[in-house]
Structures are given as structure tokens and as C-alpha cells.
Structure 1
Amino acid sequence: MKFFSLCFLFVFFISFNNVNCLFDKMLSRFYCDDENCYEILGAKRSATNEEIRNLYFMKKRKINNRQNPELKKKLTKAYNILSNKLTRRYYDYYLNNPNSIINIIHFNIYYIYKFIKIIIALTIIMFVIFLFNYLHIKYEIKKVLRVLRKNKLFNKQVHSTILSKHPDYRTYDSKTRAKIHDEIELEVADTFSNEVNTKNLKISLLNDFIIFKLFFLLKQIYLYISWYIQWIINYNILKKEYNENDKIYITRTCVKLSAHKWDILTSEEKNNLMKKQLWIKQNRNDFLNELKEKERINKMSSAKYKKQIRMKKKGISFNYND
């Protein structure tokens, strides 16, 4: 029933050729508000693009940007609408049929067209980056293989690997042999990568491409945001108790340890830190204040700090951090 009622309303709008006042305001803002774009530029409806362009620059030269910033905006907006064939055609239709539903369709088509152009531009840029990165990796592989081919041990290992994997290698045709040789070379080159300071020689690894790194970065950002929102909901709003992993996370952040450094600690050191219960706000504040106090005492007892005090008394500038 709802579907039919919506269809009826849509047909009603088209039949009576009437646009809602909300759409009317939106369209007027999209064009030149309540003013006529042709009148703003002083152009006729039949004016060519060249004439519109000349009128725009002539009026723009006469305007003082500081005194009439609004007029400049109006001129620019009118010129942008009338200089574009698509928007000018839509605007002419709007002037002739201000209450037509077709104006809304034109409005949507224009923005969809702009959106598609942006998507196409981004796709081309990403493809160029992808291609450049791919060619760069291929070039690096060739450069590395050129160095490795001078190594007798490398050539022997390639030859022995080929014979072990393909006993009938010599009976294959030249194209197949070349393909197998290249594949085995890449496999063996990985074992020699440290000698030529290369990390990875496989082209097929998606992680090597910038485009995929960007996608993974977006994924990491999404995961962080979702984790942060969950943290706020669970611990700030719902006031739940911290689970074991979150307790460890808070403890790590207080003592400024990464996950890797935390894993290196002995179980005794971890237990000593966990006993402090730094996830409790009061304990955390006390611990941080204690650390600050220790840093202050260490700084005051250092030779550099004492030298700084002496220099200040003599009126000589001295930076403690240098």
C-alpha cells in the first residue's frame, strides 16, 4: 500500500508539473538565488560563450575585490553556470519552466556527473600509482638478478633446483624452459636477498603495492575508530570493568611500552606492574606524578642542570636539552 501511495505522489508531481518549495529553494541556490544569471553578467539569452566570457572579465576588472566581495562571488557563480554547456542548458530550462520536476532531475544528474568524474579521476590516479609501483618492483628485481647472476653459487643452486623439480627440463621447448628458469631464479633469489640488501622479490605480493597499502591503512583507521568507540561506550558510558587485555593496554601506555617491549618483559616484571593497578584513575595519577617527580629530581641532580644554573647566574644562555 505504501509503495502505491508513493507512486501516486510521484505521478501527481509529474502530472501537475509542480515542485515542492523546498526543492525550489534548493534550485534557486544552485543557480543564482533570486537573481538572473544573464542579468548579473549583462548578457542576452542568445549570447555566445565568447561573449559571456568577455562580459565576465570586463565586469571583474571593474570590481574592487575588497569593497565588493559578494558581487565578485555572484559574477563568478553566474559565469560558471553560463560558461558550462550542460548547466546553461539546465538553467535555460529552469527559466522557461521554473516549477517543473525535470529541474530536480537535472540537478541530480549534474551532481552524479560530477561525482562520476571524481571517481574516474581517482581511479586513473590509483591505476597510474599501481602501474608505476609494479614497474618499479620489476625493475628492482631485474637489477637484483643481474647482480646475483654473477654469483657462481647462485647459478649452481638455480641449476640444481631446476633439475630437482623438473627432471625432464632439457626436453622442454625454449619458452617453457625460460619460464621455469625465471620462476626458479626468483625462488632462489629470496635466499640470497640479504647479500644484495633486498627484502622481497615476489611481484605477486599484494602488500608490496601502494594501492593496497592505502586500502590496508583505511582498514586500520576503521578498526581503530571502532575500537575507540567501543572503549568509550563500555568504559566511559556503561562504566564496565576493564577486561584483562585492556588492563594490560592501560598499564603499557602508562609506562610507555609497546606491545613488543611488553612481551619481552619477564613474568615477574609484568606482575609487578600489574600490581600497581594503573587502570584505576587514582592509582594512575599517583603513578604518573611519581614518575614526574623522579624525572625532576634526576634533572636537578644532573651535571647539565647545575651547569645551566651557573650559566644563568652569569647571564649566559644555555639550553639544557643540547
Structure 2
Amino acid sequence: MLLVYTLLLPIFAQPSWALIEGIYCGLENCYDVLGVSRDATPREIQKAYRKLARTYHPDSNPGDKDAHSKFIQLATAYETLKDEDARNEYNSMLDNPDQIYRHYYRYYRRRAPNVDVRIVLFVTISVISAIQYYASWYRYNEAISYLVTVGKYRNKAIEIAQERGLFDGGGKSGGKGKSKGGGGSREVKEEIKSFKEAVIRDIVAENMDIQGGYSKPSMYNILWVQLFVWPYNQLLNLKWLTLYFVNHTILKKPLGREQKLYKIRKNLKLSESQFNYLEPHQINEYLDMKLWEKDNFEEYKKEKEEEQKLAMANNAKLKKYRRWMKNHGAGRMTFED
């Protein structure tokens, strides 16, 4: 009889290592905290909790820290066992103590705030769009600030400003000499200088067509607008591809400029935005080379590969590396270089 009891005890007894500190009732069994069995009904659990809560309630035990701690533990146990899903997860922890990370995940997932995914997406897209728009304006202003310092652009802007008579105002003071204060003339000069710089900057921004990542920002390029117009753009692309297939694959009509650029872009493996960032003279050069034709593109590709190999062969750092590999070989580490 003693042998049978010894064999069955591990099965029916709850091992202490099944309890995890920091979740649910910690190292205490929630059922034992409420004094109920694991098969207790929800009504029995509620009845046991109310009875013990009246006994250990802080109002009934003013200043008793042990009673306060016991009351919190009772509330935790009741919150765990009164909900069917939470109770099932707790029972799963008791039955599968080795799945520690899974139990932590379930516990904290249940207690995480229930946030509407739509709100999260809306806020995320809005933040990305705002950052995107601000960053594009920042890059554009940096590009204009640089172009203002380039001699040929600055001189041309000054020439245009003089032709339009934009320097005649001379700022808010109108260039009317000194003010009453002792340092007035310096302030007037600084004001006139700032006014002229602003005019030059405006003319440069007006006449410079900056391409690529430093181009003038547009609301059309931000994420929110792109998401709204994406279905329409896809319909336009589908229509264009359908017409392209019918006219130039089935009917064998000659390619127009737009169709030639499309084939060139596909041969170069560039996205539409990347291709649009190319300089106009570069695009015209591709057209002159007839890169939409497969043979011409293959020849162009080989020439570029040869140029790249030649450039690498003449690179000083690569020459040094090849000499080192020749003298020392792979697999040796020295501090000579």
C-alpha cells in the first residue's frame, strides 16, 4: 500500500516547479489561495473569494500590512480563476510547467491594452507621412543652400535679380542710410545683405529643376496619398500593359518613345521612380544607343562590365590588396600592412 501511494503521489500532487514567479499568483497556487479544488465551479470560486475578502479587507484590518498583501493575493487569484479563458491558460501552465516562455507570452498578452489595429495603422502611416514630408523639405532646402554657394548659379541669380530690379528695395528699411542709434548703419547693412541673399535663394529655387532625392517636395509623394491613389495607378498600369501587348506583340506596331523608355527601364532593371530620377541627357543617350533592342543592350552591358573591370584593375587599394594576397596568400594574418 505504501508503495502504491509513493508511485501515485507525483501524479496527483502539484509540483512547486510548475509555478512561475511574476505571473498569476507567483509561487502560490491560485486554487490554494482561495481554498478551492481545481474542479471547483465558478460559483464556488466566487463564494470562497467573497468570504476571504471580507476577512482580509483593508477596511477590516487597518494598518495590517499582512492582511493587505493577502487581500491583493486573493484578488489576483480570483481574477485568474473567474474568467474561463484565463483559468484554462493557468491550468495549462500547471500541466505544462516546462513551457515557461509560452506561459509568459499568454499572461502578458492578456494584460496588454486592447488597442484598435486601425488606430495603430492610422497613427503609424500619419507619422511616416509627416517624417517623409519634413525630410524631403529638409533635403530640398539643403540642396538649394548648396547651389546658392556655387559661383555660376549665384552669378546667374544676381544677374536675373538686377534685370528684374529686385535689389532696389534693399530690405524693410529701403536702404535709407543710418538709423538714429550708434550702430544703425551696421544693422542696415546686415538687413540689406539678408534681403539680397533671400532674393538670390528664391531665384535659384525658381530656376533650378532638381531631380532625384533632392527634388522639390510634393504632397503626391507622401505615403498617405500614395496609398489612396495606388488602386487607380494599378488600373492605369494594367491598361498600359494591355495596350502595349496588343499593339506591339500581337499587331507588331513600331514602338513609340514611351514604349521604348519602358523597355529600356526593364532592361536596366530600374524601378519607375529610379528611372525618372535619371538626368534627361542620360535618357536621351539611352535612346540614341537604342537600348530597347536586346542586342544593343547586351553590347552596352558588356562595355560597362569591361569599364568596371578596368577601373577595378587601376584602383590603388585593389592593387595593394592583390600584392598582399600574392606575397602572403589567403589564410595568413600579419600586421605588416
* Greater share of residues in helix: 1
TM range (shorter): 0.3 to 0.5
The normalised TM-score by structure 2 is 0.34
Structure of higher CA gyration radius? 2
